[in-house]
A and B are shown apart, each in its own frame.
Chain A
Amino acid sequence: MSLLSRFKGLLRINRLERELDDELRSHIEMRTQDNLASGMSPDEARYDARRRFGNSTLMKEDTRAMDIIGWIETIGQNLRYAARMLRRSPGFTLVAVLTLALGIGANVAIFTVVHAVLLQPLPFPHPEQLVRVYDDIRTSNTHDVGMSVPELWDLRDHSGVFQDISVLFPADANLTGGDHPERIEFLGTSPNYFTLLGARPQLGRVFTAADAQPGFTLGVVISDAFWHRTFGADPQVLGRKIRVDNDLYGIVGVMPPGFRHPGRTLGGDVDMWAAAGYSAAPFPTPVIRAARFLPGAMGRLKPGLTLAQAQAQLDSFVAQLARQFPDEYPAAAGWSLRLVPTQEDIVGNLRTELFVLFAAVAFVLLIACVNLANLLLARSASRRREIAIRLAVGAGRSRLVAQLLTESLLLATISGAAALFTVIWLKSSLLRFAPAGLPRLNEVTLNPAVLLFAFCISILTGVFFGLAPALQTARAGQIIALREGSQSSGASKHQLKFSRFLVASEIALSLVLLIGAGLLLRSFWHLLEVRPGFEPHHLVTTKIWLAVPNDPLEDPYRLPEKRAAFHQEILRRVSALPGVEQAAIGNAASLPMDARHFQLPFAIENRALDSESTPAAEIASVAPAYFSVLKTPLISGRFFADSDDTKGQQVALIDETLARRYWPGSDAVGQRLRLGIRRNQASASQSPWLTIVGVVANIKSDGFDAASAPHIYRPLYQVPTYDGVVYVRTASDPGSLGEAVRAEVQRVDPTIPVFSVRAMDFVLATYLAERRFALNLIAVFATVALLLASIGIYGVMAYTFSRRTNEIGIRIAMGAQRTDILKIAFAEGAFLVGSGVLAGLLGSLALTRFLRSMLFDVKPSDPATFASIAGLLAAVTLFACFIPARRATRVDPLNALRHE
């Protein structure tokens, strides 16, 4: 009967009921009439007619079972029966619900995050139109090199791709005027940033194109968090002036609490948005194409334009620009623009990590299902009599399957509900385990999509683990019912074969998870072995930052000598602090393991520029003591000296990576290079040649798993920067040294904030913790899987041997040695384990390549990992079947034979 006709039936129920009554009444009347005609008394005639129907209600029910009412009633009956069965074996129910709730809960939890981070569209109108624009230098394979202002204008006015485009300039600045100077995070944008996103303020207004200025617009918008933190959520905040990097800005608007900048920031959330035209002070002038100081841009594509179409249009636009300005875009550079959907851009490489985790929890659930299916099969053996009786009294096989399936669905639904409540209950504590870099966590909520997912996965789970055992049981029950209808012998051969198949697949699934965990673990070991190129113990870093006011006359440090003097004075004072062994200073780019570092192009003297790739390196400015404070060894030449200042010769240090790449086998000391590339060698804006005075060992500045980037170091006193990092090497535990440094800096200049005080040990630990997040979770899942698989194989083997007590008894009576029995057992176990492991190895080979981006120094098909994990799993599972086998050999042959 089709579902449709059932539902039609539901609508017709009343009519049907009436018709059935009518039909029966008419039948009874006709029979009564005939009875009367054959000479019965009226009472007798009526009684006989009714009696023939037997129990007329029962018959009506049978008739109606054909229809929807019956269908629903059957479900109700099945449910009541199922609930009774589950109540009757509380131990089984508890184990099943716990196993399943664990599996379903893990899936729901990960799905909640995956949904919020990957699937849910960004909370802006037409989020699919939002893209991030990246500038790449293809030939040197350098991504995200930054954008120049003329390029921004070209994209806005002539590319034909964007409705709107806004600069994204993450920065931080000194907030002064309060109790103590503070470092805040701000985002430099174009005036159309908020209108581009379609975001509204909760207070005041956002800036619009009408606010356009060549430099900074003086009205700024602040975040809800900043409003609460600094202004106590004062509703009169509009129009308040704040001093940021010594400049006065007025607050024009406050964004609502849910608003987050959809993209990467320097550290945390943006406190303040400031619009600028980027074509007047404090930005470099004149506006030239070579000055790629804008970190990037975000655009809104024209409606109806797909990403591929937009990218194609942009590619031809780039080609046209390169023809128009051959000096600025030499073919050697291979400048190109790349569009990335904002939704993807935010998540970055965490995408893989989340999908891998999702796959891992799916595996755990699968294993839990298989285990439960096995448990149900074993249980069905003890329910044989019940099922035989039900078959004997006329229950149909399909009815029996429906009944058994209802039991498993009920189990799954209970577990699903338990899992959902646990996830809701533990939501905030679970989120604390999430890696810090995970974006959009504020959007993690329990929404209809999550509820739907939980529901669907519960039902699927129930069908998955329940269907096969139900079919098996009903079939076995039928056979038994025909044959003997008793409870004597154990499961049928077929059933045993099936449960062995389940155990083998369980072993295979566990192996895939274990190998995944093993690969991640090995990567992590490799990561721990990486030498960072500096000594992290007892090294404290703090950031200081000289304000960069928009008006140069407001800047007391505008002369380089002033900045150098400031840095030297700070260094002198900090070095004198108690507990300080040595101190150094460098610019922000010199701080290892910090925000992303950019590579900038450079040119080597007497080398053709039109080679295949443009040389590029990370460039940092450091004081002479930098390398000795970090304990980074010198390879050749010399370190910087105090005499390398603005008056001295223009010098640089390079690291080993750069030396090997461009001067392989020869000494780079004495060679010259210069920063930036100019095709026109006679250009007036040429930067000076720098003489290489030494080569230093590599410092892993971008994290342990990143390829070693080449570095060029410049003397800080020769090119004094506004940004600074103070490095302090202490004799013992740094303790509260940060406070002492802060006091010294503010004694020199009370307007300078001291922020990000960190022990390098702590930075490394945090970095590793982030890397360890996925590893930890997957290791936990893999352990659970191993445990479940061991229990599974133990159960099946124990069952097999208990069934074979007779056989073993006979064998022993006939003189078989216990070792012979063990051998038989071992062979059976080994076959099971062997086929499971083989399938698992094949599965791992197919799946581990998805882990590639999460691995470090380990191939996805690393033979050592595969072999050792497979060996471990085989050993554990073989041990699990050894226990019941040994018990079987202890059988007393007399007892065993009496067992017959």
Chain B
Amino acid sequence: MLKPKSDVLQGTLALLILKTLARGEMHGYGITLHIQRVSSDVLRVEEGSLYPALHRMEQDGWISAEWGMSENNRRARYYRLTATGRKQLAEEEKNWARLTEAVASVLQFAR
């Protein structure tokens, strides 16, 4: 049994998805794999929150979706960043940087 190591922090999921999609279009399963692999298994995206998030982002116009064929010839829904999505990504990256900086300085100060 695999135990989830660390659930993706609430609110950062969107950022991670956007960033992943910035490399090119991808289906939902690919997104979970990518995040898990790139974070060396530290971050895991729960399927239960991935799809609601994807749909929300699609409704908000950050990403668009289309049916396509996967590497091994399977029908899959591919997600792609839209222009709005790109802007949103830049925005969220900035926020994230600010947050981590802030947390870091607090940690340093405490030391």
Which residues of A are interface residues toward B (Cβ below 8 A)? 1, 5, 19-20, 22-24, 26-27, 29-31, 33-34, 48, 52-55, 58-59, 62-63, 65-67
Is the CB–CB distance between B47 and A59 below 8 Å? yes
Instruction: Give residues 60-84 of B contacting A (CB, 8 Å).
Output: 70, 72, 74-77
Q: Which of A1, A22, A62 is the one whose CB lies under 8 Å from B75?
A: A22
Contacts A5-B59, A33-B72, A52-B46; is A26 near B52 (CB within 8 Å)?
A: no
B2 to A, closest residue via Cβ? A48
Nearest CB on B from A70, distance (A): 10
Nearest CB on A from B74, distance (A): 6
Q: Give chain A residues whose Cβ lies under 8 Å from the Cβ of B72.
A: 33
Is the CB–CB distance between A66 and B70 below 8 Å? no
A62-B54 Cα distance, complex, nearest whole Å: 11
Is the CB–CB distance between B29 and A27 below 8 Å? yes
Q: Which of A23, A48, A66 is the one whose CB lies under 8 Å from B56?
A: A66
Is the CB–CB distance between A23 and B28 below 8 Å? yes
Nearest CB on A from B80, distance (A): 15
A752-B47 Cα distance, complex, nearest whole Å: 100
Contacts A26-B27, A52-B47; is A59 near B75 (CB within 8 Å)?
A: no
Which of B27, B49, B59, B70: most chain A CB closer than 10 A? Answer: B59
Nearest CB on B from A39, distance (A): 14
Q: Which of A29, A31, A33, A59 is the one whose CB lies under 8 Å from B52?
A: A59
Q: List 16 A-B contacts (CB under 8 A).
A: A5-B59, A22-B75, A23-B51, A23-B77, A24-B51, A26-B75, A27-B47, A34-B33, A48-B2, A52-B47, A54-B47, A59-B48, A63-B51, A66-B55, A66-B56, A67-B55
Is the CB–CB distance between B55 and A63 below 8 Å? yes
A48-B4 Cα distance, complex, nearest whole Å: 13
Nearest CB on B from A223, distance (A): 66
A55 to B, closest residue via Cβ? B48
A50 to B, closest residue via Cβ? B47
Query: Quick one: CB contact mask for B23-59 with A, threshold 8 Å, 1 for yes?
Result: 0000111000100000000000011110110011001
Which of A19, A22, A62: most chain B CB closer than 10 A? Answer: A62
Nearest CB on A from B58, distance (A): 8
A19-B72 Cα distance, complex, nearest whole Å: 20
Which residues of B are interface residues toward A (Cβ below 8 A)? 2, 27-29, 33, 46-49, 51-52, 55-56, 59, 70, 72, 74-77
Is the CB–CB distance between A26 and B48 below 8 Å? no
Contacts A59-B52, A63-B51; is A26 near B59 (CB within 8 Å)?
A: no
B4 to A, closest residue via Cβ? A52
Contacts A23-B77, A30-B29, A31-B29; is A66 near B47 (CB within 8 Å)?
A: no
A31-B76 Cα distance, complex, nearest whole Å: 12
Q: Give chain A residues whose Cβ lies under 8 Å from the Cβ of B49.
A: 62
Main secondary structure of the interface of B (DSSP, over half): helix
A635-B16 Cα distance, complex, nearest whole Å: 104
Is the CB–CB distance between B77 and A19 below 8 Å? yes
Main secondary structure of the interface of A (DSSP, over half): helix
B51 to A, closest residue via Cβ? A63
Is the CB–CB distance between A29 and B48 below 8 Å? no
Q: Which of A20, A30, A54 is the one whose CB lies under 8 Å from B74?
A: A30
Is the CB–CB distance between B52 and A54 below 8 Å? no
Is the CB–CB distance between A26 and B56 below 8 Å? no
Which of A34, A53, A66: most chain B CB closer than 10 A? Answer: A66
Which of B28, B55, B76: most chain A CB closer than 10 A? Answer: B55
A2 to B, closest residue via Cβ? B59
A sample of 11 more A-B contacts (CB under 8 A), given A5-B59, A23-B77, A27-B29, is A1-B59, A23-B28, A24-B51, A26-B29, A26-B70, A26-B77, A52-B46, A53-B48, A55-B48, A59-B48, A62-B52
Q: Give chain A residues whose Cβ lies under 8 Å from the Cβ of B2.
A: 48
A67-B51 Cα distance, complex, nearest whole Å: 13
Q: Considering the complex of A and B, which 7 residue pairs feature the smallest CB-CB distances, nearest first? A: A62-B52, A30-B29, A23-B77, A59-B48, A27-B29, A54-B48, A53-B47
Which of B28, B29, B77: most chain A CB closer than 10 A? Answer: B29
Q: Give chain B residues whose Cβ lies under 8 Å from the Cβ of A48.
A: 2
Q: Which of B46, B52, B76 is the one whose CB lies under 8 Å from A63?
A: B52
Q: Give chain B residues whose Cβ lies under 8 Å from the Cβ of A58.
A: 48
A579-B48 Cα distance, complex, nearest whole Å: 101
A31-B36 Cα distance, complex, nearest whole Å: 13
Nearest CB on B from A452, distance (A): 33
Is the CB–CB distance between B77 and A29 below 8 Å? no
Nearest CB on B from A18, distance (A): 12
A30-B74 Cα distance, complex, nearest whole Å: 8
Q: Give chain B residues whose Cβ lies under 8 Å from the Cβ of A31.
A: 29
Q: Give chain B residues whose Cβ lies under 8 Å from the Cβ of A55.
A: 48
A62-B49 Cα distance, complex, nearest whole Å: 8
A27 to B, closest residue via Cβ? B29
A19-B65 Cα distance, complex, nearest whole Å: 11
Q: Give chain A residues whose Cβ lies under 8 Å from the Cβ of B29.
A: 26-27, 30-31
Q: Give chain A residues whose Cβ lies under 8 Å from the Cβ of B55.
A: 63, 66-67
Q: Give chain A residues whose Cβ lies under 8 Å from the Cβ of B46.
A: 52, 54
A802-B52 Cα distance, complex, nearest whole Å: 47
A20-B72 Cα distance, complex, nearest whole Å: 20
Is the CB–CB distance between A23 and B76 below 8 Å? yes
Q: Give chain B residues whose Cβ lies under 8 Å from the Cβ of A52.
A: 46-47
Is the CB–CB distance between A26 and B76 below 8 Å? yes
Q: Give chain A residues whose Cβ lies under 8 Å from the Cβ of B56.
A: 66
Q: Give chain B residues whose Cβ lies under 8 Å from the Cβ of A5.
A: 59
Is the CB–CB distance between A26 and B51 below 8 Å? no
A54 to B, closest residue via Cβ? B48
A5 to B, closest residue via Cβ? B59
Nearest CB on A from B95, distance (A): 20
Is the CB–CB distance between B74 and A26 below 8 Å? yes
Is the CB–CB distance between B51 and A59 below 8 Å? yes
A1-B74 Cα distance, complex, nearest whole Å: 32
Q: Give chain B residues whose Cβ lies under 8 Å from the Cβ of A54.
A: 46-48
A64 to B, closest residue via Cβ? B55
A16 to B, closest residue via Cβ? B55
A65-B52 Cα distance, complex, nearest whole Å: 8
A23-B27 Cα distance, complex, nearest whole Å: 9
A61 to B, closest residue via Cβ? B52
Q: Which of A30, A62, A65 is the one whose CB lies under 8 Å from B70?
A: A30
Nearest CB on B from A60, distance (A): 8
Nearest CB on A from B4, distance (A): 9
Q: Give chain A residues whose Cβ lies under 8 Å from the Cβ of B27.
A: 26-27, 30
A154-B51 Cα distance, complex, nearest whole Å: 83
Q: Give chain A residues whose Cβ lies under 8 Å from the Cβ of B59.
A: 1, 5, 66
Q: Give chain B residues whose Cβ lies under 8 Å from the Cβ of A24.
A: 51
Nearest CB on B from A754, distance (A): 84
Q: Give chain A residues whose Cβ lies under 8 Å from the Cβ of B48.
A: 53-55, 58-59, 62
A651-B64 Cα distance, complex, nearest whole Å: 102
A31-B47 Cα distance, complex, nearest whole Å: 11
Q: Give chain A residues whose Cβ lies under 8 Å from the Cβ of B47.
A: 27, 52-54, 59
A29 to B, closest residue via Cβ? B74
Q: Give chain B residues whose Cβ lies under 8 Å from the Cβ of A65.
A: 52
Q: Which of B28, B52, B75, B77 is the one whose CB lies under 8 Å from A66?
A: B52
A19-B48 Cα distance, complex, nearest whole Å: 17
A54-B50 Cα distance, complex, nearest whole Å: 12
A692-B51 Cα distance, complex, nearest whole Å: 103
Q: Give chain A residues whose Cβ lies under 8 Å from the Cβ of B33.
A: 34
Q: Give chain B residues whose Cβ lies under 8 Å from the Cβ of A27.
A: 27-29, 47, 76
Q: Give chain A residues whose Cβ lies under 8 Å from the Cβ of B28.
A: 23, 27
A27-B28 Cα distance, complex, nearest whole Å: 7
Q: Give chain A residues whose Cβ lies under 8 Å from the Cβ of B70.
A: 26, 30
A62-B33 Cα distance, complex, nearest whole Å: 22
A33-B51 Cα distance, complex, nearest whole Å: 20
B30 to A, closest residue via Cβ? A30
Q: Give chain B residues whose Cβ lies under 8 Å from the Cβ of A29.
A: 74
A63-B27 Cα distance, complex, nearest whole Å: 16
A29-B75 Cα distance, complex, nearest whole Å: 10
A59-B2 Cα distance, complex, nearest whole Å: 20
A67-B56 Cα distance, complex, nearest whole Å: 9
Nearest CB on A from B35, distance (A): 14
A33 to B, closest residue via Cβ? B72
